[in-house]
Amino acid sequence: MTEEWRPYVAPPRDLPDDVRDRIRTRALGEAAGGRRRTPLAVAAVVALLVAGGSAAVDWLAGVEPPANGLPGPEVDMTRAQTELDRCWAAVVDAGKAARFPHRATWRPVIGWQVEGRWILAARSGETPIFCETTTTSVTVADPKALAPAASGTGTAALLFTPAGSVAGVADPTWSTLFVDAESGGPTVGHGTQAMVKDGMWVGMNPLSQGPMKVSATAPIGDGGPPEVRNLPTPAAPAVSVVDRPLPAGERASSQGAFLGECLTKSETPVVDPDAWQPGAMTSGGAKRTVVARLGDLVASCTRDYDAGTGSRRFSFSVIHEEVMLARPIQFVTLVEPEAGESAWAIGAVEPEVSGMKLTMKPGAEPISVPIIGSTFALPIPQELMPQAYAVPTGVQVVVTDRNGKEIHSGQLFPG
């Protein structure tokens, strides 16, 4: 006998009016437009509701920063300056300082921390400077190598990176900007909103391949399809260097081998692909998900099948910092099940956690859950999932440290 069923929704918390409006607008727009999701996107709702706020829009849509003129995060000037110092150090070490204004003249304009990297825009007088920093690397655009503008506009690119960062200068008449990498058609199907400020923009390429496109209006809305223009590719960056090397990610185990394949074949760009360490992995059926860690970062990489073509499809998602919880169980979500298969719960825990036991329902025997690289994955029995994306209340979890001391107990999915 199961307990009372209901979709899992975390306890309510107040949201600022502007955040609530952005979430409502985005949700209604996508409901009308039928945007395609990556395999974990729908299941991610479970985890994102834990934290609430604008992060929910960010991860579900890939990346959706606020546009120019909308309330949004202020630039963390201290951190932006620190990251720009790192960019300048890479320029100097590469012997390219003569191509840049001196660091003392750089004024931070945009500092966006997203998907495991910082994308920075700065000005020195009229000279735009763009840089991406990741856990291991620095990439700095050549300020003297602006690509040709998109046809009929003043919008152009200065920076494309393998990790998916894109940046450039914006047409002065564009207060919003959307980028896309869909090939084979005139419309934007995966467009993500860039951050625009002071004539500069930074954004995320939603796909790892395909020619870049740009539009001044949203790809989904009441005004009809946007006017989409090809965005010429900029010259190679002035500097692209691994300045903080880490040990290579383990790829010999079954989890490691799958992670390596998934990162290599992912439709979505991957930051620092060689450094991610594998964690727990789901099994059963054709679909598979592995959890991965890189320092404090947590991500998932999923393989499923395209129903239309029958081909394998891989996608990579970094768990947003806003979603991570400050408790022993940092993150938990459901992986969308295949027809006839059990759903899986995947998650991450603090390094101090060594053991985890679950009791699925009152009177049941506790189940030990392996902790692999501070992550976990466990099947949810089909009888406990009569509704998609629902879990029974009362799934109890107990976690212990390396000495067997209990450090947390409660519901796996707090109600």
Mean pLDDT of 170-176: 90
Q: What is the pLDDT of residue 108?
A: 95
pLDDT tens readout for residues 104-122: 999 999 999 888 899 999 9
pTM for this model (two decimals): 0.77
Query: What are the distances in angstroms from CA 380 to CA 21, 180, 284, 305?
Result: 35, 36, 12, 21
pLDDT tens readout for residues 146-169: 889 898 899 999 999 989 899 999
Q: Residue 12: which H helix or E strand, with range?
A: none
Phi then psi dihedrals of residue 243, to 5 deg: -100, -15
Q: What is the pLDDT of residue 354?
A: 95
Residue, of 391 and 14, whose pLDDT is higher: 391
Q: What is the pLDDT of residue 207?
A: 66
Instruction: Name residues whose C-beta falls within 8 Å of residue 71's C-beta, 6 or more positions apart in sequence.
Output: 16, 18
Q: Residue 137: which H helix or E strand, with range?
A: strand 137-140
Flag whether pLDDT at 348 surpasses 90: yes
Q: Of the given ranges (11-25, 305-319, 355-369), which has the lowest mean pLDDT?
A: 11-25
Mean pLDDT of 282-307: 88
Q: What is the pLDDT of residue 323?
A: 67
Mean pLDDT of 171-200: 74
> 101: pLDDT confidence band, cut at 50, 70 and 90?
very high
349 neighbors 375 (Cβ within 8 angstroms): yes
The pair of structure tokens assigned to 51 is: 């934290």
Task: Quote the percentage of the chain above a pLDDT of 70.
Answer: 71
Alpha carbon 319 to its chain centroid, in Å, reads 6
pLDDT tens readout for residues 371-383: 999 999 988 877 7
Q: What is the DSSP letter of 73?
A: P
Q: What is the DSSP letter of 46?
A: H
> 415: pLDDT confidence band, cut at 50, 70 and 90?
low
- Per DSSP, the three-state class of 301 is strand
- Per DSSP, the three-state class of 395 is coil
Cα–Cα distance measured from residue 301 to residue 18, given in angstroms and rounded to the nearest whole number: 32
Cα–Cα distance measured from residue 140 to residue 14, given in angstroms and rounded to the nearest whole number: 39
Mean pLDDT of 228-252: 94
- CB count in 10 Å sphere of residue 68: 17
Q: What is the pLDDT of residue 326?
A: 67
Flag whether pLDDT at 222 surpasses 70: no
Q: What is the pLDDT of residue 23?
A: 35
Mean pLDDT of 249-274: 95
